[in-house]
Structure 1
Amino acid sequence: MSRTDAEGPQDHPLLHHLVRDIASRGEGILAAVVQEQHGGRLIRIAHIQPVDGIAWSTALDNVTAVR
């Protein structure tokens, strides 16, 4: 189990599943979730790999499962 108060990779139930980024409306596979320090607080960042194209990152709160 990952610590939630430390930087680094995090486990998530949607890892390696098809997800949608509500901010960009893009879809792809959730490749990683990383907790990073930004402005004195920890933010969970989702890294999404589309089927074709360039991977991108977004706040994990923007990620939903594609059904």
Structure 2
Amino acid sequence: MPKSEFLKVGLLAVKKAEKLIMKYYGKTSADLKEDKSPVTLAEIEAEKILIETIKKTFPEHGFI
């Protein structure tokens, strides 16, 4: 698969996540994860969007 396809899907995923993140901008507070590091609801939801968007085109890809 050409690198341009990876880039195309990656940019689409980021643009979708950006829209969501901007809805939370300045309106969210952080919670603590089990390891005591901060995380916001915007981050959690944005991660879901990124993974879902990439998996639609590349279902065999994994995430760390």
**TM-score band, normalised by shorter chain:** under 0.3
Compare the two structures and name the one with the higher helix fraction: 2
Between structure 1 and structure 2, the one with the greater Rg is 2
TM-score where L is the length of structure 1: 0.25
More strand by share: 1
